[in-house]
Structure 1
């Protein structure tokens, strides 16, 4: 039996999913990654090596999810700031277990020294009840040559411009703007990766949050986005190839949702080719389905 690839840390408490009005954000430098002299040197060396391997990588700023809090139907995200370079050099480090052990020892937190860049992903559900899977290309920084859901990261640069991570004062960011960026980012990812127009997408709702064990505990907010198009229409739009991030995937798979939800037991070949994010999303949707749709 396959070991779990993710840990669920939040599930929605509403049939309508968790919407922006039910989300709060606490922004504080205390929620940033802790630093270590040797680790910082290793991060720089890792980044140079990764750039040599994949010149298309870009060190954009990201939000860092430190922890979550729940109060009735309100979800609070405790967030700091990080960057993609730090993610590559910490969460994906060969010394990950040592870093997590030292974090527990020094701060009672296995993630203390890790970037934990906050990712987003979506189950895009067509009107004929299929979900979108993309086969990640070698141009991606993660999960290459795996079937994954559309996704990416909310971007601090959309709020503060192309400011280096060390110059961002996260405490000056507006909570409402960060929440808006969180929800807007996943819609933008679906548009730019799949070529579905915004007019064909309903507003996203949060299904839950999980941490990927295959990426050092990287947190991902997973959404449900209902699409007004059929699976064949989505496939045709994708194959036009004019989307902004067409280079990130090689092909699309419109998978019947019921087959996707049973893939872990009925289609192991497909399940084993799925990225951890897609697996975490399906686990969250299965929980949502059994709570609210049956």
Structure 2
């Protein structure tokens, strides 16, 4: 399976996937995006326009993935901070290609001016081997009216409180706490989007990381998360509609895993209605399956 919508930058080196004990983080302001006076004005104008279009948008702080390092089974994430306003104004900018060209020219890095807010997503696999897909509503800030996997972002506010990204002192953040937040965040997203109880979910493991070409190279950490419930049970819980982020999706699709993995060749209508994150996740799982399960 290949996808032109994403580039794979990391795949797990273990059948047990990449666990918290395998992950390190380096936090440094040098890993934040570069700024330009003109760009900052454009970001502010874009955010004002987006708020007028979608008042429910919220400018929370996010972690920014600058790069990764690999040594054996150890994965190191080089991270700074950013915010959702900057993501909307850079990665989703109509001037994206110009910004990336400017980054290459000024810093030898196409992503230098990009927010690159680090996303998280999960292949939630039910007890009877179905994959959870959600149809994103117009209330979302991206990937609307597409089938996507449960996901969102790792949140610095869970470690430092709701302060602006530029006020976060990275030197005060503990590495273990950031790693824990990364893994906790995907569990919280699954609970709040799908309404699956925490005790029905196994611990997530990282399958890999990809960058979405449809979101300006936005990085996404993709997890495998097994669920103790059957597809019909998950569907019933979702339809109760009492989950915290029910507004983010309109409907659920419990897709047999084999059909999901072959959608790119056997169900193009579905494949073409999938978000880049879901496609990148399926690509990573297919690589994992061929390497360790077949």
TM-score, length-scaled by structure 1? 0.99
Residue 133 (structure 2) aligns with: 133
Residue 233 (structure 2) aligns with: 233
Aligned length: 293
Residue 100 (structure 2) aligns with: 100
The answer on whether the counterparts of 2:9 and 2:210 sit within 8 Å (CA) in structure 1 is yes
2:190 is the counterpart of 1:153: no
5+ long unaligned stretches in structure 2: none
Quick one: distance in 1 between partners of 2:92 and 2:208?
A: 23
2:113 is the counterpart of 1:118: no
CA RMSD of aligned residues (A): 0.8
Residue 214 (structure 2) aligns with: 214
Residue 14 (structure 1) aligns with: 14
- After superposition, the C-alpha distances for 1:188-222 in whole angstroms (9 at most, x for unaligned) are 00000000000000000000000000000000000
- After superposition, the C-alpha distances for 1:234-269 in whole angstroms (9 at most, x for unaligned) are 000000000000000000000000000000000000
Q: What is the CA-CA distance between 1:111 and the residue it aligns to?
A: 0.1
The answer on whether the counterparts of 1:125 and 1:131 sit within 8 Å (CA) in structure 2 is yes
Structure 2 counterpart SS, 1:81: strand
2:189 is the counterpart of 1:189: yes
Q: What is the CA-CA distance between 1:164 and the residue it aligns to?
A: 1.0
The answer on whether the counterparts of 1:29 and 1:171 sit within 8 Å (CA) in structure 2 is no
Quick one: distance in 2 between partners of 1:246 and 1:163?
A: 26
Quick one: distance in 1 between partners of 2:282 and 2:193?
A: 19
The answer on whether the counterparts of 2:148 and 2:277 sit within 8 Å (CA) in structure 1 is yes
Structure 2 counterpart SS, 1:196: coil
Runs of 4+ displaced beyond 2 Å = none
More displaced stretch, 162-171 vs 30-39: 162-171
5+ long unaligned stretches in structure 1: none
Quick one: distance in 1 between partners of 2:272 and 2:129?
A: 22
TM-score, length-scaled by structure 2? 0.99
Quick one: distance in 2 between partners of 1:10 and 1:106?
A: 26
Question: Superposition pairs for residues 1-294 of structure 1, below 5 Å?
Answer: 4-294=4-294
Quick one: distance in 1 between partners of 2:112 and 2:211?
A: 14
Q: What is the CA-CA distance between 1:175 and the residue it aligns to?
A: 0.4
